[in-house]
Amino acid sequence: MFVTCRSFLLLSLALLLPMPGCASRVSPAPSAPEPAIITLQVSALALNRIPVDPPAPLPAVTPIEPYAIIANRALREDVIELRIAGNSADAVTSFLRRGDRLYEIGAAGYLPLVDPGIIGIREVYAFFRKLIKISGFCGANCPVTFYVDPTPETPVLFLRIDAHGVEADADGNGTIDVIGTAGTAAESTLYTLEEDTLAASSLNRLLGAVSVRYDEAGRFFWAERPGGPARIRITDHPIH
């Protein structure tokens, strides 16, 4: 039988195309299994300490120049105020007002980079106490978080971090600590209270990772390490 080049080409295409009424099946690409959870002893944190400022009383201030209050929130007998100073049209500063006394907490944002509505003000529990948490920004892609202890007669700035703060029992010992995370390649720090003293540990150094993020639902850390991603849990209990 004589077959022309054109007939051969049409026959080849017909064999490659699916028959009418027959669905072609494409096998889905296999998904990579999640890495196993690695458990580390909490004692390893002591090998990766970094400096942290101790708690300090908030300074009482008497504003000389006029201030514009752009937001405020009452928490018990105190009021957290966000103000813009008369000599600074863009810096947003947070204050705690108690009666006729005003205490400065710190810079919480800059207009128009930050809408005052996204600066968070709320009560949280960490370090065995109730704290006032102010979540702001020190610039573009630069988070800042303040934790204020309102219990003393003079309120105390318990912790200030240039990072997003998450309150969690990161090491499973029943104590709520703070995890600070900042940066595109996430730098994470664990802040704990040990014998009434604040301590900070670099989780990136501890885990040998270029990026570390905390998974609140799973209560473990996602770490991007040279050998690949890892899920890591820190425990205060003996590892068997």
Contact 133, 159 (CB under 8 A): no
The 10s digit of each residue's pLDDT in 162-215 is 999 999 998 888 899 999 999 989 999 999 998 889 999 999 998 899 999 999
CA distance 145 to 199: 17
Distances (CA, A) of 218 to 73, 181, 211: 32, 17, 17
**Is 76 within a domain?**
yes
* Full domain range(s) for residue 113: 36-235
**Is 17 within a domain?**
no
Q: How many domains does the chain have?
A: 1
**Is 60 within a domain?**
yes
| Residue 33 clears pLDDT 60, i.e. is over it | yes
**Is 20 within a domain?**
no
**Is 113 within a domain?**
yes
Indicate the pLDDT class of residue 141, thresholds 50, 70 and 90: confident
**Is 148 within a domain?**
yes
Residue with tokens 């080049």: 5
**Is 191 within a domain?**
yes
Indicate the pLDDT class of residue 128, thresholds 50, 70 and 90: very high
Mean pLDDT for all residues in the chain: 82
**Is 240 within a domain?**
no
